[in-house]
Structure 1
Amino acid sequence: MAAVTDAAGNPWFSWDYVQSNASALLAALIQHVELTAASVLIAAVLAIPLGILAYRVSWLTGPILALSSVLYTIPSLGLFAVLAPFLGLYASTVVIGLVLYALLVIVRNTLTGLNQVPVEIRDAARGMGYGKLGLLTRIELPLSLPSIMTGLRIATVSTVAMVTVGSVVGGYGGFGELILEGFRNNFYKAQIMTATIATVLLALVFDLVLALLGRLATPWSRRRAS
């Protein structure tokens, strides 16, 4: 069946659309992947050290979580609308906005993972001569890695969805560009639905890849579960 149509004959899904617009869909996919990967990577580079800082310096925990929470609550359309006049209509503008949204989840999960390291394990490590740096890098961070990976997975899936809003910046929304174009083009349902399904599938693929990487990076957790 080539299409699922409504009474007006405007198809919700059409293989003809997919086949005839394969190049546009591929370009949107590449842009969506690039924006998502860049945003989550930069967010992780910023958020994981912030989570460690919040863990090590207790009086900074509140301010760091509060600031990242405030950034997360800013409406996405409003944030991009504010950033665009100052930073221009570039992919970097979208990435900056996406990074700000991803910070909270990664910071919070990093802090949670570090706080969940058993006290007796820390005490045993100190008894073996580990200093603060060694304790962090060889004991605390490895044991908190499952929580950090969970934060990365959540941040990545939400970033995949948020990339579509980047279309308001102009040309940098991945599948969001096709969705917006579909609305402008007499509510072209096949285009809207195809881009929406592609976004959901991309989020699932990212989540599965990160879940696999998490399992590979924490073999001890698999042995403990078995």
Structure 2
Amino acid sequence: MIEGRPLIDWGWIVDHLDDIAESILQHLQLTIVPLILGLFISLVLAVWAVRQPRVYGPVTAVTGILYTIPSLAAFAVLRPITGLSLLTAIIPLTTYTLLILVRNIVAGFQAVPAEVLEAAEGMGYTRRQRLLRVELPLAVPLMLAGLRLASVTTIGLATVAAVLGNSFGGLGQLITEGLQAFFPTKYLLGAVLSVVLAFLADALFVQIERFVTPWAQTRAGAR
């Protein structure tokens, strides 16, 4: 910290509200896009794993390996291929969601009672109809739990994207620039806003789960 400069410079914050808002929007983009892509890919993999149980092990093994790759290493590998682009950040952030989402979605499908599946079959549902009308809706609670965890994880990992440049660095850019300039206001603001976004994302998915699965809340309250 530069001598004579306060820990939190409120004047700087007021003067740079537009830049701060842009960083928040960039961070949301770095979070939402990977979550959407990860959910789509995970749904496909989860359905495949449920229909063909023998592939569940290899799928979770591969997604587990992808999850263990350090983000900086992933960015370094992709940079010669995709350049300093948003795609260089989106691809690794998407892969980091897969392990969490695949496991939760598969668990959601496996939690559907066998008698419910038999009843759907007895009503003449095709495999596709049973998936869309029975299995998927009943798997929603665990799916949302996976999205809840993946969103918080992605918000944290997205701060590392700042190494790719300030065009899409998000809140990580505030942290990096603040540390480089020995300016506490900037890096503390980036860190605090990242934590706030994580809490808001967690709260949002809790509310979504309560809204789309009221039967689960009623059953829990009856216990």
TM category, shorter: over 0.9
In the aligned structure 1, how far is the partner of 2:57 from the partner of 2:33?
Answer: 28
CA-atom RMSD in angstroms: 1.7
Give the TM-score normalised by the residue count of structure 2.
Answer: 0.92
Between 16-25 and 126-135, report the one with greater CA deviation: 126-135
2:169 aligned residue: 173
| Aligned CA distance change for structure 1 residues 11 and 77 (closer, same or farther; 3 Å) | farther
Q: CA deviation at 1:206?
A: 1.8
- Contact 1:65–1:104, Cα closer than 8 Å, also in 2: yes
Q: Given residue 100 of structure 2, which amino acid in structure 1 is its aligned partner?
A: V
- Percent sequence identity is 37
In the aligned structure 2, how far is the partner of 1:151 from the partner of 1:126?
Answer: 28
Q: Given residue 60 of structure 2, which amino acid in structure 1 is its aligned partner?
A: L
| Aligned CA distance change for structure 1 residues 115 and 10 (closer, same or farther; 3 Å) | farther
The answer as to 2:16 corresponding to 1:31 is: no
Q: Which of 125, 134, 144 lines up with 1:139 in the alignment?
A: 134
Alignment of 1:180-191 (within 5 A): 180-185=176-181, 187-191=182-186
Q: CA deviation at 1:10?
A: 5.0
Report the secondary structure of 2:8's partner residue: strand
Alignment of 1:51-62 (within 5 A): 51-62=46-57
In the aligned structure 2, how far is the partner of 1:9 from the partner of 1:121?
Answer: 69
Between 9-18 and 89-98, report the one with greater CA deviation: 9-18
Give the TM-score normalised by the residue count of structure 1.
Answer: 0.91
The answer as to 2:12 corresponding to 1:17 is: yes
1:81 aligned residue: 76
How many residue pairs are counted as aligned between the two chains?
220
Alignment of 1:149-168 (within 5 A): 149-168=144-163
Deviation by residue 1:141-185 (Cα, 9 ceiling, x = unmatched): 111100000111111111111111011112222010110001111
Q: Given residue 188 of structure 2, which amino acid in structure 1 is its aligned partner?
A: M
The answer as to 2:90 corresponding to 1:95 is: yes
- Contact 1:50–1:64, Cα closer than 8 Å, also in 2: yes
Deviation by residue 1:97-117 (Cα, 9 ceiling, x = unmatched): 110111111111001111111
Q: CA deviation at 1:8?
A: 5.1
Deviation by residue 1:23-62 (Cα, 9 ceiling, x = unmatched): 2111101111112111111111111111111111111111
Q: CA deviation at 1:9?
A: 4.8
Q: Given residue 72 of structure 1, which amino acid in structure 2 is its aligned partner?
A: Y
In the aligned structure 2, how far is the partner of 1:84 from the partner of 1:166?
Answer: 12
In the aligned structure 1, how far is the partner of 2:4 from the partner of 2:74?
Answer: 38
- Contact 2:175–2:187, Cα closer than 8 Å, also in 1: yes
Runs of 4+ residues deviating >6 angstroms: none
In the aligned structure 2, how far is the partner of 1:13 from the partner of 1:108?
Answer: 42
In the aligned structure 1, how far is the partner of 2:4 from the partner of 2:195?
Answer: 25
Gaps of 5+ in 1: 1-5
Report the secondary structure of 1:13's partner residue: coil
- Contact 1:10–1:189, Cα closer than 8 Å, also in 2: no
In the aligned structure 2, how far is the partner of 1:191 from the partner of 1:170?
Answer: 16
Q: CA deviation at 1:82?
A: 1.1
Gaps of 5+ in 2: none
